[in-house]
Amino acid sequence: MAKFVPVEPFDIVIFGGTGDLSRRKLLPALYHRWLDGQIPPSSVIIGTARSAMEASAYRALARTACQAASGKNWDAAEWTRFEKILHYAAIDATDPGADWPALKGLLTPGEQRPRVFYLATSPHIYVDICRAIGRAGLASDQARVVLEKPIGTDLGSARAINDGVGEVFSEQQVFRIDHYLGKETVQNLMVLRFANMLFEPLWSHNYIDHVQITVAEDLGLEGRADYYDRSGALRDMVQNHLLQLLCLTAMEPPNDLRDDDIRTEKIKVLNALGFISPAQVRQTVRGQYTAGLHGGLPVRGYLEELSSATVSETETFVAIKAEVKNWRWAGVPFYLRTGKRMSGRHSDIVIQFKPAPHNIFGQGVESVNRLVIRLQPDEAVRLFVQIKEPGPGGLRVKSLPLNLSYAESFTLRYPDAYERLLMDIVRGNLSLFMRRDEVEAAWRWVDGLIEAWEVSRYRPEPYPAGTDGPLSAAMLMDRDGRSWWKESQA
């Protein structure tokens, strides 16, 4: 049975402690780790923001957030104990003259325990915050700094952030977080591949026809209009989430599970990704949702949701046919797809194997196996195999899954992505976090695609909200004699 191992006592300072990420993810994650006995009571959690606020008011804000996120796991008695380690300090992190006496007074004296600085803020002030931490003398040897995505908006800005943060913290102290890497099924991908001889010998162009990676969202901008219109689906999702999933799917076996061994294999995949030139731009699809239906109710289009602009060429949908140009994957297309206001919310990795070399069962009988890894909303791993359908009237073949459902197989509540990653940060385990060269290699590839779009003047194609993207996305697969996998095929 799974057992939660406590971490050593630590201090964590959350910059942006009253923001959306803190309320929805970070504070509930810390509370849940407290409930499972992983956080010692001598630890210190400090939220910071510019606004003046009493500690009692911050604890009330945190209580509301944690209670909403906990549901039936809410424990009022445990909250009373947990809130004793929860504090607040008003800080203007961009003020170069600030000495932060209030923060220093809350931190545990000495430099022997892990001290985590979580930057849940806009990336454009990451460097300012880190320099302020350095000037305040708080960047101890046991300090770690956590950077949320996106790290920059292109290769140049990513390098500038990495350089600025690197002035204060060594690379071993920098935790560039992508919460997708903390999901159980994402980590299980390595176990499936490298702990089961059933799969690894088949994991190459010899037996795999193609790979699909989809991260679909059914919501629209949800209050992120200003940020999203400067970013778009390519920068917001492909540069980090989808490329990280591609790396874990395509990487070679690492020597062991040490952080740099895993991250070195991922960077090899990014370096092998074929650049998409203007002449190859039809290997991609850009889309922008228009008015449509969500849950049977009418919803506005992207342009109508923007607060200040009536014209925008920002994409809300991207589909890409990519290729990993190395010995293992030569000739195997990787189809990447992500978008907002799609027909449903789901994230899947689909490994489609090649058909049997000779079909002895006649026309209309599919002889294709698929491994479907569902990341959300209901984490599962399903291997679709062909079996004979029972009954008289001839031999009928049907595709059915061997199904591993996390909800059905594991009754114990297991940590969500942020819970797991926060404990790894305290432990100093970098294996599920991005190295500097990973981030920059991903931006180098994305910058090439953005340039190809600009040179070819490739504009977004409209698609109605509540659908699976533009028609061109289906045609991208259809031209290759393939189609996007759907849950209805299960």
Q: Which residues are catalytic?
A: 241
Q: Of 472, 457, 469, 450, which Cα lies nearest the Cα of 155?
A: 450
Return the H-helix or E-strand segment holding 246: helix 243-250
* CA separation for the pair 84, 125 (Å, rounded): 30
Q: Please name every residue paired with 87 in a beta bridge, in sequence order, or none if there are none.
A: 46
Return the H-helix or E-strand segment holding 463: strand 461-464
Q: Please name every residue paired with 371 in a beta bridge, in sequence order, or none if there are none.
A: 351, 383
Instruction: Give exposure, 220-239, as e/b (b: 16+ Cβ within 10 Å).
Output: bbeeebeebbebbbbbbbbb
Sign of CA dihedral 405, 408, 412, 413: positive
Helix-, strand-, coil-residue percentages of the chain, each rounded to 5: 40, 20, 40
**Contact at 8 Å (CB) between 151 and 123?**
yes
Q: Of 6, 50, 58, which Cα lies nearest the Cα of 27?
A: 58
Neighbours of 367 (CB within 10 A): 16
Q: Quick one: DSSP state of residue 123?
A: G
Q: Which are the contacts of 102, defined by CB distance < 8 A and separation ≥ 6? A: 89, 90, 91
* CA separation for the pair 117, 149 (Å, rounded): 15
Length of the chain: 490
Question: What would the two tokens of residue 237 be?
Answer: 């999702």
Q: Of 375, 419, 379, 427, which Cα lies nearest the Cα of 403?
A: 379
* CA separation for the pair 418, 27 (Å, rounded): 10
* CA separation for the pair 408, 342 (Å, rounded): 27
Q: Specify the pairing of strand 380-389 against strand 370-376.
A: antiparallel
Sign of CA dihedral 452, 469, 443, 303: positive
Q: Which are the contacts of 313, defined by CB distance < 8 A and separation ≥ 6? A: 288, 459, 460
